[in-house]
Structure 1
Amino acid sequence: MDNWIPLSDEQYRLIWDKFYKDFDFKPSIHSSDWPSFHIPVSFVTFDITEYIDEDIDDLEEKCITNLRAVTGSDEYIYALDWHHECYLYNPYLENTSGRIGFYPDGDYYFFLNKEFKWGYLGHPWEQSISIFGEELIHQFETNRPTMFGKIVRSNR
């Protein structure tokens, strides 16, 4: 089984339409417009401006571990890369090609539970990562990546 299953055109459209609506998503490179999304449930946003290259490997490992903690072994989540191919992703299966990374290096990278109850939102220009949903927030508090700096926003 593949852990990166491309979304169909219809799935892509429906999921992005839902994300734009539910999160009032307004992508922007201008800081006066940030945050670019409004998270309707508990969230924490971390600054990721100060890191070293080794921190990216740590981020990848801890994200996979934390996503495994909140998903079943046969469960897929959405892996979204703004204006690029998007996928159903299973963090339990061997990561053979790492199609979307967890460090937002030029685009918005989002990993979302299919019901949008929790998620991981990477903002490339603000250089921040937002974690939402108590279950996932707890996992990241317990197993925090070294890249996560100060909390820049939270509604907890």
Structure 2
Amino acid sequence: MTRWIDSWLPGSSAGPGAGPSGAHRGERFGLPQSGPGSATGFGRRLAAITIDWLLGYLIATLFAGPDPFGVQSNLSWTVWLVWFLLTAVPTAIFGATPGMTIIGLRVARIDDAALVGVPRALLRTALLGLVVPALIRDDDGRGWHDRATRTIVLRTR
């Protein structure tokens, strides 16, 4: 069901009768119901971002030095920055983060362009890093970060 606030988001389908015809996620984009190329659910996306976050945490602790949990430590910001780079750069170039690759997902533009691109990847990652935009989703499973950048997350296997 489309809400009034969705009308200002790019890629929004707000308006009378603008919702999906109801059969499955991604139907309005011509995506299959299941299997490769279908819109993914929340669980797979959560697993992928968890892998990315843990990888970012591991890399950040390597940079933080011998006492990463000290009183003056900026570990949380270091983790966020490493995660941001680990997410934005591969998404812009390859359309998938390391966690997405492991889980079998990729980010695709809804206008069928080959690459997500740097501006979209940076905006998408920044909104994803705020957490709340990713939790508010539409009928296709796209969060506000995907709607604002006109992207969708697809299964690759």
Which gives a bigger RCO, structure 1 or 2 (Cα 8 Å, sep 6+)?
A: 1
Instruction: Flag whether TM exceeds 0.5 (same fold).
Output: no
Q: How does the TM-score come out when normalised to structure 2? A: 0.32
Bigger-Rg structure (1/2): 2
Q: How does the TM-score come out when normalised to structure 1? A: 0.32
Higher fraction of strand: 1
